[in-house]
Each structure stands twice: as structure tokens, then as C-alpha cells.
Amino acid sequence: MTSNEPSHSAHHHDPGQAHGHGADPRHTVPGDGRGTGAAGDGVHGAAPAAPGDGAHAHRHASGHGHSHAHGHAPAAPVSRHLRKVIAAVLIPFAVAVLAGLVVLWPGGAPGHKPSGVGFDQPTEKAKVVKVEEVNCADVHAQQQQQPSQQQPPSSAGPQRPQHCERAVIEVTTGKDTGRRFESIVTPDATRHYKAGQGVVVAYAPKAPKDLQYSVTDVDRTVPMWVLAAIFAAAVVVVGRLRGVLALVALVVSFAVLTLFILPAILQGSNPLLVAVVGGSAIMLVALYMCHGLTARTSVAVLGTLVSLLLIGLLGSLFIGWALLTGNTDDQTGLVHGLYPDIEIRGLLLAGIIIGSLGVLDDVTVTQTAAVWELKEADPSAGWRKLYSSAMRIGRDHIASVVNTLVLAYAGAALPLLLLFSIAQSSVGTVATSEVVAEEIVRTLVGSIGLVASVPLTTLLAALVVSADRDAVGAVTSGAGRGSGLTGAGEGVGGTGTGRSGTGRRSVRGGHGKRRRAR
């Protein structure tokens, strides 16, 4: 450590004499401790200077002990007062979420008799026993042709026969295990079968016996579990403990979705209220489990909460203003037909909130971590400097996240966009149709919430970390001045067993060496 003046200190190495390396007391800053060295034991201390300057003191004893005490301590944790302030905000919120879970808890989905329409029909597992090629005319099956492909009948001769596939299916689960039926696959079908393949069959009890079972899908259990295992392994290998905690949080999120959100909506509860309570529960569990119960995570939770409220308000406003009903596909219509009490418009808004929650977590956690790391790198930075530096990171994040969200919704609606393209509709007609306008509102409202979360969370984190660290620094400096200790690396030696033999103290630094006998 250097002083403000050139050093002219001399070195003295008398046996049994302790050496204190530090700044001249005339050129020191208030410290909060001093080092004491004893010959032969290598024990010494460091008197840190101002917080964060990395000053340290080295003490060399004449016995062969030699050690180093450095003032490179981690940044001070969040003060108790600030923890109380954050807790005063988050604890009532957590209690409200818990109360909402208790009050709205559905206790399971309501029972009803399957209608036999779409997904609302009982299913069983089956397997393909045999597949053989047959003439389509013999099994009364004919390939469906598009109007543009239809040709007038030719008198040149008989048409070439078309070949279909006849698959023999055997039911492997349920009360009719072992029962077999046939399924005809035409040449233009998008799905073909092979012997030994697993399939899913639907059961229609009111249909004729030969038509009660029909193939509705293929069995994808094995590839889906393998893909899930690969995903989990990748998360754990890269993320290690954080990855394991993230997987646990994912399981909890799925449990809240399937055990609370969906059954509560089916029971007739307000979809918006259910989504807010369930989404908040997912947010609290996921963030604190993955990132720890810290002030940094709490700031991210606050930023996410405010952004979710903004998304809810904007979504409610524009869904009502644009007169969106939310009933734009067969699945939504079927749900509304089976459960007329469900508010479809609220279901649309609930979907917007839940869909935005995952990306919001990413943005708020990243911005909070950026502010904290910037403060660690430059402890003297004020909240304005931290905010401007972190916002440079946030702007890059905004550009990538918004583009990702828009492309995700566009990819999901790609078949619909293709239909509009085929119909040669104008851009205005397509954009203002309810099917596309619903996706536009969903995308833009979520994106506005994401964009707003960046400056909001960044400002909140900058104010919290700056106010807290300034308060901690002020308390530390005041404690050092109150103790009357000045100087970095002050050596204390005296007569007695284990201390320096000469009973002298040597302090070097500044303009030279001073000795004083006790």
C-alpha cells in the first residue's frame, strides 16, 4: 500500500524483532481494526481502509511464521433494515397468495359423462397386429381428391385400382382387452401403421359393436420420456445444483397448473383471479427455489409482480375494447359447450398472464443480477450509474425477448396464417379478424409487460443495492472513527513469552522508520 508521498523507509531485520508493514500514521485513513503479531506464531491482522479499496497489511514475525491477512471480503450483505422493508412488502403478498389457494382450491375437476366429441371421449391403448394391402374398392374406401385434381371420367378403359392398407388393431387395456377390429388407411392419409406399433383408440359405447373402437392417435410414450430424460440430463449437467432445483420448480409449476388452475377454472371460478393466484404461486416457488431466499431474488419477485399487474390491466382493457370473445377454435367451443359457466373471455386473459410469466422471470432475474454484479465490480457507483449501465444490458435483452415472443406466437398460428394466404386476403383483413387479432393482442400485451419490466426492475434493484451499500459503508466508517484507531497495518509488540524479543515496535511507511521502547 502506498501513501501520497514518496517512501524512504529503511529495512531492519534484527532477530526477534517484529515488522509491521503499513502506511505512515500521518497518511492513513480511518480503519476498524489492527493486527497483533507474536514471534513464531505467524498470527497477524489486517486493518482495512475504506470499504472496497482492497487494502491489506502484512505482518512478518522473526520466528518462521509468515501469513497474509487480506481485506478482500465479499460485498456486505443486505442490511437488516432493508430486509425488513422487503419482507414488509412480500410477506403480505405471499400470505394473500396462500389464502387465495386455500379459498379457490377446487378439490379436483368436476365429473361429467363423456360426450364422445373430440377429446371428450374415453380412450384405451392398443397395438397394430397386422397390416396388409388391399384394393380400396373391395373395402369400399376411396381416396379423397381436391376439386382441382378431379378429372372427367375417361372412356379409354378402366381406371387403375387404388391400394389401401387394412390394419388389424388389438385393444390392450380396459374391459375389452384382446378385442380386435380393422382400420382402413387410404393412400392419401397422413398416418400409416406398421405391425407392432402402439396406438390410442377411442371408445364410443353407443355406436354399433363393430364401430365402437377407432384409432385416434399413436402411442408416443417412449419417445416423449426419452426426450424428457435428455432434457433433464442436460439441465443437471450444465446447471448442476441450480439445474436440479430448476427441475423441482418445474414439477411444482406443473402440479399447480394441473391440480389448481385447470380444475378451479372448470369449477366456475373467475379465470383471471385463478390465473393471478396460481401464477403468483408458481413465481414465488420457482424464483426462490432456483435463486435462493435473498434480497436479490426478492427484488426480481417485486419486478415480476408489478409487470404481471400491468399485463393484466392492459389485457383486460384491449380484450374488452377489441370485442374479443376468446371462442375462436373448436377446443374452446367444446369447453364452453361442456361447461357453460366458464367465462371464455377471462380464460383468454388468464392464458396471456400465464404465457408471459416464464419470460418475465427470465428478464427480471437477469436484470437484478446485472445490477448486483455491477455494484460488486464498482462499489463506488451510485444508483444512476448502475441504472444506466444495467439498462444497456436490458436493451439487448428486450430486443431478443420480444422477437422470440412474437415468433413463438407466429409459429403456433402458422397453419392459420397459411389459410389467409391461400384466400389472398389483405393484411388489414387478416390482422383485424378475431382469430388473428386475438393472437396480436396476446403478443403485444405480453411484450409491453416484458419491455416495462426491464427499466422497472433495473431501477428498483439499483435503488435497493445503492441505498443498502451506502448505509453499510457509512456505519462501517463511523465505527472505525469512533474506536480511535487509525493506520493500516499497525504492529504491536512487547516483552513477554512469544512476543518480539527486543520489546520494540517498528512502523514503516511514509518518510522512514520509527521505534519506540515500552
pLDDT of residue 262: 86
Helix (H) or strand (E) holding 379: none
| Burial (CB count <10 Å: 0-12, 13-18, 19+), residue 435 | middle
Can you give the pLDDT at residue 272? 83
Phi, psi of 473 (to 5 degrees): -65, -40
Q: Is the pTM of this model over 0.85?
A: no
Per-residue confidence (pLDDT) for residue 484, from 0 to 100: 42
Q: What is the pLDDT of residue 144?
A: 53
Which residue bears the cell 355406436?
A: 207
Q: What is the pLDDT of residues 391-429, one digit of tens each?
A: 998 888 887 777 777 787 777 778 777 877 777 777 777
Q: What secondary structure does DSSP assign to 251-283, as a single string?
A: HHHHHHIIIIIHHHHHTT--HHHHHHHHHHHHH
The DSSP secondary structure of 204-243, one letter per residue, reads -TTS-GGGSEEEEEE--HHHHHHHHHHHHHHHHHHHHHHH
Instruction: Give the chain's largest Cα–Cα span.
Output: 129
Burial readout 210-228 (b: 16 or more C-beta within 10 A, e: otherwise): eebbebeeeeeeeeeeeee
**Residue 440, class by beta-carbon neighbours within 10 Å (0-12 exposed, 13-18 middle, 19+ buried)?**
middle
pLDDT tens for the 518 residues of the chain, in order: 444 444 444 344 444 444 444 444 444 444 444 444 334 443 343 344 444 443 343 334 334 444 443 333 333 455 677 777 788 888 888 899 999 999 988 876 666 666 666 666 788 999 999 999 888 877 777 655 544 444 555 444 455 667 888 899 999 998 989 999 988 888 888 888 899 999 999 988 888 888 889 898 899 999 999 999 999 999 999 999 989 999 999 999 999 998 898 888 888 888 888 888 998 999 999 899 888 888 888 899 999 999 988 998 999 899 989 888 887 777 777 777 777 778 888 888 888 888 888 788 888 998 999 998 998 888 888 889 999 999 998 888 887 777 777 787 777 778 777 877 777 777 777 778 888 888 888 888 988 998 999 999 999 999 888 876 554 454 444 444 444 434 434 434 343 444 434 444 444 444 444 444 33
Residue 170 makes CB contacts below 8 A (sequence gap 6+) with 126, 127, 129, 178, 179, 180
Q: What's the pLDDT at 7?
A: 41
- Radius of gyration, alpha carbons of the chain: 36
**∠187-189-195 over CA atoms, to 5°?**
85
User: What was the pLDDT predicted at 119?
Assistant: 66
Q: What per-residue confidence (pLDDT) applies to 4?
A: 41
pLDDT (0 to 100) of residue 169: 92
φ/ψ of residue 168, rounded to 5: -95, 120
SS3 state at 356: helix
Q: Which residue has the cell 403485444?
A: 444
Give the per-residue pLDDT at 510.
Answer: 44
